[in-house]
Chain A
């Protein structure tokens, strides 16, 4: 009986580890290989405080959370700017250095002997010294940890994490501070892993470096993949299956160290086979059904806004020896649509990048509403009212159409952990209101019917409309569209034209990059012609098209 209870205690601990690991991998798309290390730090902090200093539960657990969360945030710092493979190597390095510290800082960690005789937890005069007595505590703590993770995952912050997983640049372009998001999710995932470590130390009463190796991280990874990334319930299932299944090996007669290796071979094979046959896991991530709950009132989308011009003065940007943009003066007036045209490689997209903070100019200044936008991060510029779209769309393809718009709405208190955890009713009310706003925007561009579909299932024309809707949702008044209409058939164009015209009529400051001269003639009040990084001409479409030199450049 004790044996079954013991397995259940371990299932509880693995459940905490797998769900928190899933937050990092499945939600935020951050591939960190340091989860065993976070678990180990939590266990050792508890071991040291409880066994050496005699501090009683729950203080070592809380101290462990603080230490590990800080470590998680700090370790991620150098990798945040670049991500991808760099995050893998930095987190792997944390694993290596932790093992070195545990083995070599003998005075603190006991070296290869580890730390023994960690006091058991005493609660209400009961000593939790058997699996049966420890199990209720483990289950309750695991439930709390799951609630913390699930609350995060289901919040607007969790939605923003998924957006970041789909596309980091686009997440910045809707005004999210992705560095802060990464630090937060790292701190939370590390803190949760530390809770599991603390319980483990009290339960087993002995810790040593061998329990916190890269192999454990891979084991946890197998749980997350088996259960399904981006679905926390899947991680519970994965933890349960992978903690219970290997116990069956106990009934096969083989030496314990061989059995342990066979177990690990099994996890490894399981990982590969799952990824081949069912990469989404047993319980796949499901698109939310938010759109059913949208309130009926729809705030107006094209209400008049206070106008302002976006100005670039003397902008210059070089890449190595190549001048991408040079001495560019550009003014994008409010209340009309400015077209940016020119042959391929003329510097149009670079100009957009400079105007929206995705690139810093080597020279010159960008001004909006009387302030300089130089040296501001893209997400800050979006919040000040200047947003841009991308030529390659960069939609959040794994999210629903509605979520693509919802996530972009500005000033969401649900993006802040303090509100998510301590004022959920505020977030809930805001979310209800935002559903109405998002639906209004979708209906404005003509995608109301598609709200519940996955963005990856849209037709090309609808994808283009969603790009407009998402940019509109940021609440910015200056909207820069990089080829919003390219590749659209005439009937689709006819659907989109009024959207742009109504936005310009509302006083918004619009700029589009476009190649199709018919579209330019139809939409643009003013056209700026760029070539080789310089502004060659500016005027109405008709004026520019009459210039034989420009036509030659354009059609060469």
Chain B
């Protein structure tokens, strides 16, 4: 029983990480229908922004995380403006934009490697708080991962339900074509989706930096898990992406009672495979 409680807690922690990634990816993918592979290296770039502020400019950790988030938002917005937007204006088919995003993926990933080297970056004095609640062991960073999901999710929810612009964003995740028809300024909405989505992804990036450190290649698995969370949850649904991410984390963690750790990602694959076979619209996708 104690083991189960611990596994459940771990699953919730990792699930929160995936859920944030999924939420960020769903926001971008849902509003723009761009399969943004460079989401991965932009996520990595945020972690490096955070690391640079903490290591080179000796910023305190919270400030460094803010810097990381700003890095992500800027990089995401630039990716849209410089790479994707021109293709959209030309009316390129989705496949072409997808291939361009793979090109951007490999450019950014290697640029990070050239600029920062291939060693793992860690923040100078990572917080080492540990909470012991009965049988449960939770580190401060793990707790932060769950709290940040709740906080970010709540903020985003307020944004898309209470502000005019946020509502336009939500309308576009529901039906991009319809949004275009009713006259929503899709350039601005897309730009905001990229900036906000990348900023959201920067949160788990900074937390992973604090927890495990950052590498140039950390982006690939992030974009993969984000994509899986979105597909499992149901394309076009923000709530679905969060639920999908949490479900992935929990299944992985509970599965690990029986399966060695290094097969973790394979569990996500099995979940994806089963969901696509049984319920191709995703757990929460209506259409």
A binds B: yes
A binding-site residues for B, Cβ under 8 Å: 29, 31, 33, 77-79, 81-82, 84-86, 88-90, 92-94, 96-97, 100-101, 103-104, 214-215, 218, 221-222, 225, 257-258, 261-262, 264-265, 267-272, 275-276, 279
- Assess A271 versus B100: contact at CB under 8 Å? Given A90-B273, A92-B224: yes
In the complex, the answer to whether B96 meets A264 with C-beta atoms within 8 Å is no
Chain B residues in 8 Å Cβ range of A90? 272-273, 276
> Within the assembled complex, what's the spacing in Å between the Cα atoms of A276 and B266?
36
Given the known inter-chain contacts A97-B265, A268-B110, please indicate yes or no for A218 contacting B102, CB distance below 8 A: yes
| Interchain CB contact under 8 A, A265 and B272 | no
By the criterion CB–CB under 8 Å, are B95 and A262 in contact? no
Contact of B100 among A94, A265, A272 (CB under 8 A): A272
B94, B96, B224: the one within 8 Å of A93 (CB): B224
Q: How many residues of B contact A (CB 8 A)?
A: 43
Cβ of B228 under 8 Å from chain A: yes
CA separation between A103 and B266, bound complex, in Å? 12
Binds A, one of B48-56, B111-119, B165-173: B111-119
Interchain residue pairs A-B with the least CB separation, the first 8? A271-B103, A268-B107, A268-B106, A261-B110, A78-B276, A268-B103, A272-B103, A264-B110
Task: Provide the bound-state CA to CA distance between A276 and B260, in Å.
Answer: 46
A-side contacts of B220, CB under 8 Å? 214
Complexed CA–CA distance, A94 and B280 (Å): 18
**Do the beta carbons of A272 and B105 come within 8 Å of each other?**
no
| Residues in chain A near residue B95, CB distance under 8 A | 29, 31
B182 within 8 Å of A (CB atoms): no
Q: Which B residues touch A96, using CB under 8 A?
A: 221, 224, 265-266, 268-269
Q: Are B106 and A264 in contact (CB under 8 A)?
A: yes
Would you call B106 and A267 a contact (CB within 8 A)?
yes
Contact B92 A92 (CB under 8 A): no
Asked if B105 and A268 sit within 8 Å, CB to CB, the answer is: yes
Residues on A with beta carbons closer than 8 Å to the beta carbon of B87: 275-276
A31 to B102, CA, bound (A): 12
Cross-interface CB contact of A103 among B102, B106, B262, cutoff 8 Å: B262
Q: Across the interface, do B273 and A93 meet the contact criterion of CB distance under 8 Å?
A: yes
Main secondary structure of the interface of A (DSSP, over half): helix
Partner of A265, one of B94, B107, B269: B107
- Give the chain B neighbours of A31 by CB distance below 8 A: 95, 98
> Taking the complex as formed, is B86 at the interface, i.e. its CB lies under 8 A from any CB of chain A?
yes
**In the docked arrangement, what's the CA distance between A275 and B104, Å?**
12
Would B105 and A218 count as touching, CB distance under 8 A?
yes
State whether B273 touches A269 (Cβ < 8 A): no
How far is B16's CA from A413's CA once the two chains are assembled, in angstroms? 54
Contact B266 A78 (CB under 8 A): no
Write the nearest CB–CB distance from B244 to chain A, whole angstroms. Answer: 12
Q: Which residues of B contact A275 (CB under 8 A)?
A: 87, 92, 96, 99-100, 103
Q: Which residue of A lies closest to B223 (CB)?
A: A92
Complex Cα gap A214–B109 (Å): 12
B231 at the interface (CB under 8 A from A): yes
Chain B residues with CB under 8 A of A215: 106, 109
Residue of B nearest to A225 (CB): B99
- The residues of B that contact A103 with a CB separation of less than 8 Å are 262
CB-based contact B111/A265 at 8 Å: yes
B110 touches A86 (CB 8 A): no
Q: How far is the CB of A73 from chain B (nearest CB, A)?
A: 14
Whether B110 lies near A89 (C-beta < 8 A) is no
Q: Which A residues touch B268, using CB under 8 A?
A: 93, 96
Given A214-B220, A257-B118; A78-B277 close (CB under 8 Å): yes
Q: Who on chain A is nearest to B82 by CB?
A: A272
CA of A37 to CA of B66, assembled, Å:
38
- Are the CB atoms of A262 and B224 closer together than 8 Å? no
Q: In the complex the two chains form, is A86's CB within 8 Å of B111's CB? A: no
- Asked, given contacts A100-B262, A261-B114, A265-B110, whether A86 binds B269 with beta carbons under 8 Å apart, the answer is no
Question: When the two chains form their complex, are residues A271 and B99 in contact, meaning their CB atoms are under 8 A apart?
Answer: yes
Q: How far is the CA of A84 from the CA of B276 in the complex (A)?
A: 13
Which chain A residues border B113 with CB–CB below 8 Å? 257, 261
Residue of A nearest to B83 (CB): A272
B221-253 to A contact mask, C-beta < 8 Å, 1/0: 100100110010001000000000000000000
- Is B114 touching A78 in the complex (CB atoms < 8 A)? no
Contacts of B114 in A (CB 8 A): 258, 261-262, 265
Give A262 to B113 CA distance when docked, in angstroms. Answer: 10
Question: Counting CB contacts under 8 A, is B263 at the interface?
Answer: yes
Picked from B102, B106, B107, B231, the residue with its CB within 8 Å of the CB of A86 is B231
Query: Is B107 a contact of A89 with CB atoms below 8 Å?
Result: no
- Chain A residues whose C-beta falls within 8 Å of the C-beta of B280 in the assembled complex: 78, 81-82, 86
Known contacts A100-B265, A268-B110: A279-B273 contact under CB 8 Å: no
Contact digits for B254-287, partner A, Cβ 8 Å, 1 yes 0 no:
0000001011011011001100110010000000
Contact indicator B92/A100 (Cβ below 8 Å): no
Bound Cα distance A272, B37 (Å): 13
- Shortest C-beta distance, A133 to chain B (Å), equals 34
Write out the residue numbers on chain A whose beta carbons fall within 8 Å of the beta carbon of B142: none
Give the residue name and chain of the A residue nearest to B112 (CB). Answer: A261
B71 CB–A CB distance under 8 Å: no
Q: What are 11 pairs between A and B in contact, CB < 8 Å?
A: A79-B276, A88-B98, A93-B224, A100-B262, A104-B260, A104-B262, A267-B106, A268-B110, A270-B103, A271-B102, A276-B87
Residues of chain B contacted by A77 (CB below 8 angstroms)? 277
B14 contacts partner chain A, Cβ-Cβ < 8 Å: no
- Whether B35 lies near A88 (C-beta < 8 A) is yes
Neighbouring A residues of B107 by C-beta, 8 Å: 264-265, 268-269, 272
Task: List residues of chain B with CB within 8 A of the CB of A221.
Answer: 99, 102
Give Cα distance in the complex from A275 to B220, angstroms. 23
Q: How far is the CA of A31 from the CA of B98 in the complex (A)?
A: 9
Q: Among B105, B118, B227, B262, which residue has its beta carbon within 8 angstroms of that of A89?
A: B227
Proximity bits, B35-59, A CB within 8 Å = 1, else 0: 1000000000000000000000000
Contact residue among A93, A262, A279 (Cβ-Cβ distance under 8 Å from B92):
A279
- A78-B280, A93-B268, A222-B103 provided; 17 other pairs, C-beta below 8 A? A77-B277, A84-B94, A85-B35, A86-B231, A90-B272, A93-B272, A104-B262, A261-B110, A267-B106, A268-B105, A272-B103, A275-B87, A275-B99, A275-B100, A276-B87, A276-B90, A279-B96
In the complex the two chains form, is A89's CB within 8 Å of B231's CB? yes
Looking at the complex, which one of A29, A104, A261 makes contact with B263 (CB distance below 8 Å)? A104
CA distance A261 to B113 in the complex (A): 7
What is the minimal beta-carbon distance from A507 to any residue of chain B, in angstroms?
A: 42
Q: In the complex, which of the residues A33, A78, A268 has the most CB atoms of chain B within 10 Å of its own CB atom?
A: A268
- Contact of B86 with A276 in the complex, beta carbons under 8 Å: yes
